[in-house]
Chain A
């Protein structure tokens, strides 16, 4: 039997194939919320990509800047040697002949001795004389090199680029042969030593590092929250994501550092963070409080649901402020005589503020351990709730309306970041640290939706080490 001949199917096909019915209005609201959320996620995705790119460029730029300093330093050392004035520790001073000035008389004014330098990689032997470096044959695997007496550093000069400058090297007939010479600094103690300003900071063998430090930091912070919801609460979370937004605030504190190793330090301290968020579409509801005529002390209370719980807002005799009433952010009036009279169009927003005292424990590792350094940091922080308030904001007007219920008094957050530091002197250092803090626990205890606040800050400060 073909399907068209089935008389049970036929009426269903005829009537239902193009059946139409008007869907409930909230379907579009749900779709629009999801699309808006997608859009925000995309924006966040791009912002984070751009931020990551900037961070990578910053790291690469800093690394390049610091690494390129090294060859310049070496060159400066060589230049000093090429100048021809080299001091010995035994107070003997050797004047290296000026090539350009004396290449006409072709005489060696400095005494020379034969120095033998063992070459393990090649069998080449070189004699250094005023006429240049001359490969010679020797019976054993050693160099026979003529160098000025007492000039133990002389082999350093062999890596000077082949050019005619004021220096001891004269009449280089085969500049290429210079480059083939292997440099053995370990064979000849560098008693004269070039002046390397970076070695002053970076030489771990010589300089003992400061173990302790105290400092202070401040930062503008962007704070918001991440919602964790499942099942039926997911649509509520989606709704809250639409009507709520983060706020820019501030943080700061004092810190103590202990550095068991030169590159690694442990930091603690006491910080203060002013965090929060905004709930948009705040309605100003006029309420008819029947009792107010007889008892002016009775008040109207509105409970405003949001992602962090309920704001228990205590208001005046006959007015109340609430958030958007559809669909999850409901409100109620505590006074039995009160009833809703009118809800005006959205006029402002509700600002929730949470203040925390933070006790961090942070590890810092200096990837670039120089005067201009670069470091990574990570750790944990115990955060104690010390302030909790909610305000209604309408333009320039700001009015405190209550507090948020069921906030957890002690919270824990992870801390990750990176930073650059610059030593303005041996003891004082300034730093700039982009830092991300994420609350590991939900800050509310009574809500089905878990709210994890996070902050992004650019902490900058001063550190004194000793």
Chain B
């Protein structure tokens, strides 16, 4: 922890070496996070870059309270949400309703690799993806998600439900055809 403090202090003084060390320390974990919120790898790289620039610019606001990684994580998520808001009109508002008979047993998800799961999440329409990530992975409540995304609690719940249905549908197709229909990124 002392090492992290030293690096943060170096960054606050504008030391380039410390900035690079801080980036290397968190870049892989944060890129893993960004991949979940992005359409593809390039978008994730953009979010990561934009997010880290904010981290360095706002570092003095951290103040040493709480988890530093949690703070960076929150900045990355906010950056992804801002990006989603700025591009939201570009996405068609298609509805992916799933019939009951298309539902799959939840256990099949456990047979998928992390990379497959990332692709599944990336394939979700952005509005469902955001809610699913925030709720299922980050653990935010619908009320918090509503505030973060500027949507109603009911919308958040509805989006989560649809996200789950779409994911199950995709997995069913995946195992039914026994081949990767999931988009290669």
Contact = CB atoms under 8 A, between A and B. Distances in A.
A27 B168 CA distance: 34
B49 A30 contact: yes
Contacts of A26: 45
Nearest to A235: B49
B32 interface: yes
B117 A11 contact: yes
Contact of B32 (A10, A19, A24, A30): A19
B136 A3 contact: yes
Contacts of A18: 29, 32
A27 B48 contact: yes
Interface residues of A, number: 29
Nearest to A42: B14
A143 B167 CA distance: 106
Contact of B28 (A12, A15, A21): A21
Contact of B53 (A9, A20, A34): A34
A107 to B, nearest CB: 84
Interface in B95-148: 106-107, 109-110, 112-114, 117-118, 121, 132, 135-137, 139
A39 interface: yes
Given A30-B49, A31-B56, A21 B110 contact: no
B27 interface: yes
A35 interface: yes
A30 B27 CA distance: 13
A32 B19 contact: yes
Interface in B79-100: none
Contacts of B36: 16, 19
Contacts, number: 106
Nearest to A4: B139
A357 to B, nearest CB: 42
A46 to B, nearest CB: 13
Contacts of A16: 32, 36, 114, 117-118, 121, 137
Interface residues of B, number: 42
Contacts of B167: 8
B23 interface: yes
B86 to A, nearest CB: 12
A12 B137 contact: yes
**Chain B interface helix/strand/loop/mixed:** helix
B29 A20 contact: yes
Contact of B35 (A13, A17, A21, A34): A21
Contacts of B31: 20-23, 27
Nearest to B141: A3
Contacts of B65: none
Interface in A22-81: 22-24, 26-28, 30-32, 34-35, 38-39
A30 B45 CA distance: 10
Contacts of B135: 3, 9
A12 B57 contact: no
Interface in B36-60: 36, 41, 44-45, 48-49, 52-53, 56-57
A452 B27 CA distance: 36
A9 B131 CA distance: 12
Given A3-B136, A12-B132, A23-B48, 11 more contacts: A7-B109, A8-B164, A9-B136, A19-B114, A20-B32, A21-B31, A23-B31, A23-B45, A24-B41, A35-B14, A35-B19
Q: Which 6 A-B pairs have the closest CB atoms?
A: A7-B106, A9-B136, A19-B32, A11-B109, A23-B31, A20-B28
